[in-house]
């Protein structure tokens, strides 16, 4: 078989400054094992596979893979896949919104000034962590308990535990553990001083399939649940921009907004940098 592959930069404030994503188009002949093998070969945080929808309300279907597993939902793969779908000629059934079908169900996506934004999905787990869970987060991050302003489960699929610190500077100074004995997914946020282009600094840490801790350049799912948390807690009432990837030499910018109905939307830039064909990848199913 031969399928198209698009290499897309998502959430970057300029070219090749965000989180890269591989999007495979015409992926219907690939078996699940092939998708995982290809994802590991690309060695990016996620690869997506664009497929025809199976639900009448959806415009397209996407399967999202990390190096370890298939994910029901993820943020930068959602925006990057939508960007490619539009680029290859996709047209929404409803002109106002695009509807993506994924493992988490149907996700609404809006376009505004050439930029896409997805509706933040509902949290699967919320509420404060236990004392043991909080102690583990402190140990992992290498901080004292008094430095944590607030903490909560903000899991919309990947498993995020959110930790809020007093400042962006403290977030950027973190030196977390480089490995961890069990799976861990922690997102940390702290406010910038007023006047800059970003209101908050975000960092995302998770275990890969080998147990090594990875810092994600820019994370849509985490920023979605962080925004829901911040708006619900009254930490912010206005739309804002979050910076992420700074310590990795990236310039990620995530736009968080809340509409009149209370729905949180997460948007950012997406740019295609490479287009090619896959050769010799055959289904084994």
Q: What is the pLDDT of residue 129?
A: 98
pLDDT band at 285 (very low <50, low <70, confident <90, very high): very low
Average pLDDT over residues 93-109: 93
Q: Is the pLDDT of residue 50 over 70?
A: yes
Tokens matching residue 214: 């990875």
Average pLDDT over residues 122-131: 94
> Tens digits of per-residue pLDDT, 249-267?
999 999 999 999 999 999 9
Which tens digit of pLDDT belongs to each residue from 199-250? 999 999 998 877 899 999 999 999 999 999 999 999 999 999 999 999 999 9
Residue 170 has pLDDT above 80, yes or no: yes
pLDDT higher than 60, residue 284 = no
List 20's β-bridge partners, or say none.
9
Q: In the predicted model, what is the mean pLDDT of residues 178-191?
A: 95
Alpha carbon distance 184, 181 (integer Å):
9
**Position 268 pLDDT exceeds 60:** yes
245: Cβ contacts below 8 Å, ≥ 6 apart:
17, 18, 19, 217, 218, 251, 252
Question: Is the pLDDT at 46 greater than 70, yes or no?
Answer: yes
Domains of the chain: 2-120+268-279 (3.10.310.10), 131-262 (3.10.310.10)
């Amino acid at each position: 078989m031969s399928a198209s592959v698009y290499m897309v930069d998502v959430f970057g404030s300029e070219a090749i400054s965000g989180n890269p994503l591989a999007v495979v188009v015409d992926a219907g002949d690939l078996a699940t094992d092939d998708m995982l093998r290809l994802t590991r070969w690309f060695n990016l945080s996620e690869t997506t596979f664009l497929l025809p929808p199976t639900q009448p309300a959806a415009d397209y279907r996407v399967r999202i893979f990390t190096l370890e597993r298939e994910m029901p939902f993820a943020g930068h793969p959602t925006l990057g896949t939508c960007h490619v779908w539009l680029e290859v000629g996709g047209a929404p059934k409803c002109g106002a919104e695009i509807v993506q079908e994924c493992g988490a169900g149907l996700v609404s996506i809006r376009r505004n000034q050439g930029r896409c934004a997805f509706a933040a999905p509902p949290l699967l787990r919320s509420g404060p962590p236990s004392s043991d869970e909080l102690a583990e987060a402190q140990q992992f991050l290498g901080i004292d308990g008094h430095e944590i302003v607030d903490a909560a489960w903000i899991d919309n699929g990947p498993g995020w535990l959110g930790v809020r610190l007093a400042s962006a500077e403290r977030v950027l100074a973190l030196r977390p553990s480089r490995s961890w004995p069990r799976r861990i997914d922690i997102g940390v946020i702290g406010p910038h001083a007023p006047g800059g282009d970003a209101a908050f600094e975000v960092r995302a840490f998770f275990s890969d399939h080998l147990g090594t801790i990875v810092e994600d350049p820019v994370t849509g799912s985490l920023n979605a649940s962080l925004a829901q948390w911040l708006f619900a807690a009254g930490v912010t009432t206005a739309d804002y921009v979050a910076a992420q990837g700074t310590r990795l030499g990236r310039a990620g910018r995530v736009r968080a907004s809340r509409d009149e109905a209370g729905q949180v939307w997460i948007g950012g830039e997406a740019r295609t940098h490479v287009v090619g064909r896959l050769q010799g990848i055959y289904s084994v199913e």
